[in-house]
Copies of this chain bind each other. A is one copy, B any other.
Amino acid sequence: MIKTISISDLLNKPTEKVEFVVDRFEEMEEPENIEFPHNHNFYEILWITNGSSKHTIDFKNYEIEADTLFFISPGQLHLFEEWQDINGYCIAFTEDFFLHIFQNKNILFELSYLDNMYENPFIKIKQQDKSKLKAIVDLLLNEKAHETIQALIYVFLKQIQTLFSEKGNSQNSKHQIVIFKQFKNLVDENFTKSLALTEYANQLNVTLHNLNSIVKSVCNKTTSEIINERTILEAKRLLQFSDDNISEISYKLGFEDSSYFARYFKKHTSSSPLDFRKNIF
């Protein structure tokens, strides 16, 4: 159903192994063989300096204006409209490439704005912060040594975290953010299995009370809400991008019968599964 694209697809070099790219939009060719929507197997940071661009990530629409940084994490369902007439920078890298020189393999996880559907995936850059970010991007554009590029991407990512923190979005500790994202990954793997919440807590080596309060603190939702939202997201993906009928979908999502699934879907989206599917096409 939904294809996962790699950086080599983005660059029209499907047969090569490409682990990173740093380039100006205006220097890049439009990708020829990318279907929309798609998943990424890499992180992508777009810095739009001129023009605007519409994106849909996991059924949420974003209109990205000039002077905005926009983040796409692996596994997110991405739809990018209007590639033309925008200027700016594209920085894309795989997790493996980026982590190569670093001892702490959690450093991407420690950034609040990546891999986080509960934080807005963009930030408007203030005038006074531009020159610093521009200096880092200029160094990146002129660099060839992989290890130096990894260090510079780190400097860039940490600088962006500072911008989020100044906005007051990220008062959580790195530890909390890492636990939250580990929980989110566990949910990705287990949401169809009706795992008890204590099971999630056990696997993360925290108490359920701890897990609940970390999740609340990071995204102001309950632990159950996260699992429900993940289930609904998958239901929407299957309704929109597969030909499975409702009972096949409810089976795939781990529901015992399709009428219970239909009630569950309606409760969370105010629409029946069939209506949702009809309204898309």
Contact = CB atoms under 8 A, between A and B. Distances in A.
Interface string A70-111: 000000000000000000000000000000111110010000
A148 B139 contact: no
Contacts of A232: none
A11 interface: no
Contacts of A162: 145
Copies of this chain in its oligomeric complex: 2
A192 interface: no
B145 A139 contact: no
A186 interface: no
A147 B139 contact: no
Contact of A101 (B104, B147, B148, B152): B104
Contacts of A103: 100-103
Contacts of A145: 158, 162
Interface stretch (A39-47, A130-138, A200-208, A261-269): A130-138
Contacts of A102: 101-103
A142 interface: yes
* Interface residues on chain A, size class: 20 to 34
B135 A155 contact: no
Interface in A228-274: none
Interface string A137-155: 0110010010110011011
A53 interface: no
Given A135-B139, A151-B152, A151-B155, 9 more contacts: A101-B103, A135-B135, A135-B138, A136-B139, A145-B158, A151-B151, A151-B154, A152-B155, A155-B155
Interface of A: 100-104, 107, 132, 135-136, 138-139, 142, 145, 147-148, 151-152, 154-155, 158-159, 162
Rank and list the top 9 A-B pairs by shortest CB-CB distance, nearest first: A151-B151, A103-B103, A148-B158, A151-B154, A135-B135, A151-B155, A148-B155, A101-B102, A152-B155
25 contacts: A101-B102, A101-B103, A101-B104, A101-B107, A101-B154, A102-B102, A102-B103, A103-B103, A132-B142, A135-B135, A135-B138, A135-B139, A136-B139, A139-B155, A145-B162, A147-B154, A147-B158, A148-B154, A148-B158, A148-B159, A151-B151, A151-B152, A151-B155, A151-B158, A152-B155
